[in-house]
Amino acid sequence: MSRARFHIGQIVRHRMFPFRGVIFDVDPEFDNTEEWYMSIPEQARPRKDQPFYHLLAENAESEYIAYVSEQNLEHDEAGGPVNHPQLAEMFDGPIDGRYTLKASRRN
């Protein structure tokens, strides 16, 4: 099992698809259904033995929740805010290109 490269509150973007988002949870390795995993085309299917990230995501058409492997994410250099309706419930910011968890959401 590898250590997560990205952290909660960080703005990231997908390497292959045109969306970006804010990380709100991290699984140390794949923790979704086998059905979800098998729905990914085989040539694009990521390894399961890496961190997977839950994102409050956006693309040009909508906002949604995404589940993405570490190998398919990179830091978002744009630095602008993400427009997702649930962001204000969980985070403050962005400040210096990063969101911080609201005190009421911290463990």
pLDDT tens by residue, 37-87: 999 989 889 999 999 999 999 999 999 999 999 999 999 988 789 999 999
Hey, CA dihedral for 84, 89, 94, 100, is it positive or negative?
negative
For 79, left (φ over 0), alpha (ψ -120 to 50), or beta?
left
pLDDT reported for residue 106: 66
**Which pLDDT does position 104 carry in this prediction?**
77
Which residue would you say has higher pLDDT here, 105 or 50? 50
* pLDDT of the residue at 82: 96
Q: Which residues pair with 10 in a beta bridge?
A: 98
C-alpha dist (Å) from residue 90 to 26, 38, 46, 63, 86: 15, 31, 28, 15, 7
pTM of the model: 0.92
Nearest residue to 13 via CA among 66, 97, 83, 76: 76
Task: Give the pLDDT score at 1.
Answer: 54
